[in-house]
Structure 1
Amino acid sequence: MLILFSSIMICFIIPMIVMLFATTFSKKLIHDREKSSPFECGFDPKSSARMPFSLRFFLIAVIFLIFDVEIALILPIVIIMKTSNIFVWMLSTMFFMIVLLTGLYYEWYQGTFKWAE
Structure 2
Amino acid sequence: MSTELVLASVIFVAIGLILVAVFTLTRFIGPRNENAVLKNSVYESGVSNPVGNTNIRFSVKFYLIAISFLLFDVEIIFMFPWAVNVAELGVTGLIKMFIFIGLLFLGLIYMYKKKALSWD
Query: TM-score, normalising length from structure 1?
Result: 0.68
Aligned to 2:35: 32
Task: Give the aligned CA root-mean-square deviation in angstroms.
Answer: 3.2
Indicate which of 50, 54, 62 corresponds to 1:49: 54
Q: 1:104 to 1:19 in 2, by over 3 A?
A: same
Q: Which moved more, 1:7-16 or 1:51-60?
A: 51-60
Q: Against the structure 1 CA distance between its residues 31 and 89, is the aligned structure 2 distance closer, same or farther, given a 3 Å change threshold?
A: same
Q: CA deviation at 1:3?
A: 5.4
**Partners of 1:35 and 1:42 within 8 A in 2:** no
Q: 1:104 aligns with which of 102, 108, 118?
A: 108
Quote the Cα distance in structure 1 between the aligned partners of 2:47 and 2:114. Answer: 46
Match of 1:8 in 2: 8
Q: How far did residue 5 of structure 1 move?
A: 5.2
Shift of 1:58: 4.0
Partner SS, residue 87 of structure 2: coil
**How many angstroms apart in 1 are the aligned matches of 2:100 and 2:14?**
47
Describe the SS at the equivalent of 1:92.
Answer: helix
| Identity percentage of aligned residues | 23
SS in 1 for 2:88: coil
Is 1:75 the counterpart of 2:80 in the alignment? yes
**Structure 1 residue 19: Cα displacement:** 1.4
What residue identity is the alignment partner of 1:66? Answer: L
Paired amino acid for 2:88 = T
2:22 is matched with 22
Give the 3-state SS of the residue equivalent to 2:39 in structure 1. helix
Matched, 1:62 2:67: yes
Note the residue ranges of structure 1 that are not aligned, 5 or more in a row: none
The answer as to whether partners of 1:56 and 1:115 remain within 8 angstroms in 2 is yes
Structure 2, unaligned runs of 5 or more: none
Q: In structure 2, the residue corresponding to 1:98 is in which secondary structure?
A: helix
Query: Contact 2:42 / 2:48 at 8 angstroms: preserved in 1?
Result: no
